[in-house]
Amino acid sequence: MLELEHLAFYDHHAHGLYHEPLWRTAPLEAYFTEAYDPHILQRFVPDTLFYRRSLRDLSELYGCDPNADALREVRAGVDYPALCRDLFQRANIQHLLLDDGFWPDRLWSVAQARERLPLPVQRVVRIESELELLLPHHDAPGTLLDALEQVLREAGRSAAGFKSIIAYRTGLAVEPPTPAALERGFRQDRERGGRVQDKALLDAALLRGLQVATDLGLPVQFHTGYGDPDLDMRLASPLHLRGVIETPAFRDLQVVLLHCYPYVREAGYLASVYRGVYLDLGLTIPYTSVSAMQTALHEALHLSPISKLLISTDAQRTPELYWLAARWARRTIGAVLSQTVALGDLTKAEADWAASRLLWDNAVELYRAPVAEEQASHTP
């Protein structure tokens, strides 16, 4: 199997870490599932392959017995800021893009991550989060969308890209709304307050965001496939994005299909026939079994060009998830690329090239390099 620990990892999709008081009180089981039902966490998460494999990995990391009680005991005594720095270094993650629209009140901001981690950190702007911040301050959908466009254009000056979670709300079958539907949806969501849920308003906001991304030459990440249980996975297949991808105005738009499980083959197909489509296997790695991780990478490579496939951690809350995801990304890539050599798809030299593309080069080419002020704020 190819050994890839020496290769740097460009983590193009992740979220912030817990503030220390929350990290010290958070249940261990919650890190190993997308579920949030307390009964699932307590009764069933310990029976998953991801949890059991990770328990052994973390016990090896901390030098303790491979059981949850021993792990909790040793974690209680660690220096949390030092642990965060150490695990990023151990994972050899050397560039990080953060979607800061997830739990902004509980997790480090992009600025805090820049101050506390030994690597460059850039922001990915979540379109729906910006929409929700603006909604209470506007009394018409037109002024709201104009304000959103202004915010996104300003944020895009330094951001690495944009992100959409519309799959969680109304699905990926995005289409321009009629004026009447947009007005109705705007009024309903404004009266409800909080989370924007109307399809017409969400579609209109996303299409405005995609135009901004196209104009600025920035990629847009889409959540696809599985996630939290408030997601309707039937609406999260990347195949639904065909209407967006084929829109003439978005001909030059770069779309990154995140996660993809179980729609990995579909995502690979889209990447193979549309020039602006890329796919990612974060969350699929490491949240599934060893066999499933390898199968997903094989299936992505059925059709997708190597130069359009990326890996991320999709880690959040605890630095251990970053370390676990990076460890299993390298192991999965090493195992699968070794099989491609054995089967005659690649030569050894081509497999080495492919490993570098997946872990670093593809992301470097796709995302904007840090601007001067971001580079200056990074202290190794």
Alpha carbon distances (Å) from 23 to 192, 209, 262? 32, 34, 30
How far apart (Å, rounded) are the C-alpha atoms in residues 282 and 359?
12
DSSP strand pairing (161-164 vs 220-224): parallel
Alpha carbon distances (Å) from 313 to 49, 197, 268? 18, 28, 19
- Percent pLDDT > 70 in the chain is 97
Question: What pLDDT, on a 0 to 100 scale, did the predictor assign at position 155?
Answer: 98
Question: What pLDDT, on a 0 to 100 scale, did the predictor assign at position 98?
Answer: 98
What pLDDT digit, counting tens, does each position of 70-102 carry? Answer: 999 999 999 999 999 999 999 999 999 999 999
What pLDDT digit, counting tens, does each position of 132-152 carry? Answer: 999 999 999 999 999 999 999
CA neighbor of 42 nearest in space, from 290, 286, 33: 33
Question: What pLDDT, on a 0 to 100 scale, did the predictor assign at position 311?
Answer: 98
Mean pLDDT of the chain: 95
Determine how many CB atoms are found less than 10 A away from the CB of residue 221.
30
Question: What pLDDT, on a 0 to 100 scale, did the predictor assign at position 374?
Answer: 43
Burial label for 26, CB within 10 Å (0-12, 13-18, 19+), is middle
What pLDDT digit, counting tens, does each position of 233-259 carry? Answer: 999 999 999 999 999 999 999 999 999
How far apart (Å, rounded) are the C-alpha atoms in residues 159 and 124?
6
Question: What pLDDT, on a 0 to 100 scale, did the predictor assign at position 376?
Answer: 38
Average pLDDT on 303-327 reads 98
How far apart (Å, rounded) are the C-alpha atoms in residues 298 and 292?
10
- Maximum mean pLDDT: which of 188-197, 330-339, 370-379: 330-339
CA neighbor of 324 nearest in space, from 82, 18, 60: 60
Q: Grade residue 377 by pLDDT with cuts at 50, 70 and 90.
A: very low
pLDDT surpasses 70 at 373: no
Q: Where are the alpha helices (DSSP H) in the chain?
A: 20-25, 38-39, 49-62, 68-76, 80-90, 110-116, 127-134, 141-155, 166-169, 179-192, 199-216, 242-245, 264-273, 284-287, 290-303, 319-343, 348-356, 362-366, 372-377
Question: What pLDDT, on a 0 to 100 scale, did the predictor assign at position 369?
Answer: 60
Respond yes or no on whether the N-terminal peptide bond of residue 104 is cis (omega within 30° of 0): no
What pLDDT digit, counting tens, does each position of 159-208 carry? Answer: 999 999 999 999 999 999 999 999 999 999 999 988 999 999 999 999 99
Tokens 């951001």 correspond to 159
Question: What pLDDT, on a 0 to 100 scale, did the predictor assign at position 375?
Answer: 39
Average pLDDT on 371-378 reads 40
Of residues 379 and 54, more confidence is placed in 54
What pLDDT digit, counting tens, does each position of 7-44 carry? Answer: 999 999 999 999 999 999 999 999 999 999 999 999 99
Question: What pLDDT, on a 0 to 100 scale, did the predictor assign at position 47?
Answer: 97
**Complete domains list, the chain, with CATH:** 9-377 (3.20.20.140)
What pLDDT digit, counting tens, does each position of 344-358 carry? Answer: 999 999 999 999 999
Neighbouring residues of 47: CB distance < 8 A, sequence distance ≥ 6: none
What pLDDT digit, counting tens, does each position of 65-77 carry? Answer: 999 999 999 999 9
Question: What pLDDT, on a 0 to 100 scale, did the predictor assign at position 1?
Answer: 87
Beta strands across the sheet bearing 309-310: 9-14, 93-99, 121-126, 161-164, 220-224, 255-259, 277-280, 309-310
Termini Cα distance of the chain:
32
With residue 222 as reference, give the H or E element that holds it.
strand 220-224
How far apart (Å, rounded) are the C-alpha atoms in residues 14 and 328?
16
